[in-house]
Structure 1
Amino acid sequence: MNTNLSPRPSKIIDEEVKWDKSQIIISKTDLHGTILYMNDAFEEASEYNKVELIGEPHNIIRHPDMPKVVFKVLWESLKKEENFHAIVKNLSRTGRYYWVITDFEIERNEAGEATGFTGRRKAIPESVINKIEPLYKTLLEIEQVKGEKASELYFQAFLSEEVQKGYDEFVVDLFEEEMAKNASPENEKENENNKLKKGLNWFFFGDFL
């Protein structure tokens, strides 16, 4: 694919993209991460149009503030055909950023074989960003100074010692906590009766913003 149509920005701008955060960003990729489909919300948030991104690798929107170990864990889970949630800071065409929570669904053919992935992304509350960003900054600094392996070892130790859970569960629980904090009195009983479920049902439950 000729990537001249979709260059990565030459300058990083510390400014958030303005987009409709009530929308769900959707993309479909093959097993190698090549973009096959993107919806209008993806265009708005990324500031790329469909002609520019179809056929391109999904990592074209990877922000340099993101530690590589997060994507390593993500791809290891997808290769095992496991659903996975991740909190990601993405890079727009103009060099700005937007934070999202992603849920992945495995696409299969009639024989049940994995053929690709559908990613659905929603905006996340500032309170979640404030909790995850320091961890990502530490991982990135270790990666840059000591290498990717050292960053991965720290990440594993952090999850084991400080949160006592895997990354996917850690991400989901962050949202459960924020849902509980932001629930209005009239919705508390409903939220109690409708416990969040990990996976696609959980992802589409409620509005965190």
Structure 2
Amino acid sequence: MAKQKVLPTGVERFFSDKDLIVSKTDLKGRITYTNRIFRDIAGYSGADLDGAPHSLIRHPDMPRCVFKLLWDTIEAGGEVFAYVKNMCANGDHYWVLAHVTPSYDAAGRMVGYHSNRRVPNPTLIRDTITPLYERLLEAERQAPDRKIGMQAGHALLTGLLQDKGTSYDEFIHTL
């Protein structure tokens, strides 16, 4: 029996500002570790998550171009901070400020990625991030296909940052 597609419910979940959501993945983005807080808020068991693609919790309101920027940065060995709207197993959602970094073995080879997520400022999400992501999504959805859409969203984001005279990292850190 095929697994039924989960649809967004519009219900937001929250976690404590004292909590830290943690996950680790391999180089392909398959989950190798999640902490209890991750599992509790996302509504998945460890068995459901182990080996699953991290995109399992991707909310359809998230612009693909934000993930492109994230992946481009960490695959190049950099770290990135990003505001992310994640989807729970039942379709509810939760917002995080994610800090994603590469993980290395003792020989210095990149072996995966580590992400720590904290509670974001709700006013910032409402007033800045949500309107920005809606603009990026609109650019992505107007394109004839997903790849061109991601490129259009990325171009819009890059242009907005250039207009502000700032980098993505500077933009995120000044919010």
- TM-score, with normalisation over the residues of structure 1? 0.76
More helix by share: 1
1:159 matched to 2:161? The reply is yes
| Partner amino acid, structure 2, of 1:142 | A
User: C-alpha separation between the residues in 2 aligned to 1:18 and 1:72?
Assistant: 26
Which of 11, 14, 21 does residue 10 from structure 2 map onto?
14
User: C-alpha separation between the residues in 2 aligned to 1:120 and 1:89?
Assistant: 14
Q: Identify the structure with bigger relative contact order (alpha carbons < 8 Å, sequence gap 6+).
A: 2
**Higher Cα Rg, which structure:** 1
User: C-alpha separation between the residues in 2 aligned to 1:158 and 1:52?
Assistant: 38
Report the equivalent of 2:172.
171
The one-character-per-residue Cα deviations of 1:106-125 (angstroms, maximum 9, x if unpaired) are: 21112111101110000111
User: C-alpha separation between the residues in 2 aligned to 1:8 and 1:92?
Assistant: 12
The one-character-per-residue Cα deviations of 1:5-45 (angstroms, maximum 9, x if unpaired) are: xx651x21111114334200000101111000000010121
Which of 48, 54, 64 does residue 68 from structure 1 map onto?
64
| Partner amino acid, structure 2, of 1:30 | D
Which of 44, 47, 50 does residue 48 from structure 1 map onto?
44
| Partner amino acid, structure 2, of 1:17 | R
Counterpart of 1:165 in 2: which secondary structure?
Answer: coil
**How many pairs are equivalent?**
168
Report the equivalent of 2:146.
none
Note the 1:51-200 alignment, pairs <5 A.
Answer: 51-130=47-126, 131-146=128-143, 147-161=149-163, 163-174=164-175
| Partner amino acid, structure 2, of 1:95 | G
| Partner amino acid, structure 1, of 2:64 | K
Counterpart of 1:127 in 2: which secondary structure?
Answer: helix
**Percent of aligned positions that are identical:** 35
The one-character-per-residue Cα deviations of 1:150-178 (angstroms, maximum 9, x if unpaired) are: 222111100110x321222211211xxxx
- TM-score, with normalisation over the residues of structure 2? 0.91
Contact 1:8–1:60 (CA<8 Å) still a contact in 2?
A: no
Counterpart of 2:72 in 1: which secondary structure?
Answer: helix
Structure 2 residues without counterparts, runs of 5 or longer = 144-148
State the Cα RMSD in Å: 1.5
Contact 1:69–1:151 (CA<8 Å) still a contact in 2?
A: yes
The one-character-per-residue Cα deviations of 1:34-60 (angstroms, maximum 9, x if unpaired) are: 000000010121111111111000001
| Partner amino acid, structure 2, of 1:157 | G
| Partner amino acid, structure 1, of 2:114 | T
Counterpart of 2:157 in 1: which secondary structure?
Answer: helix
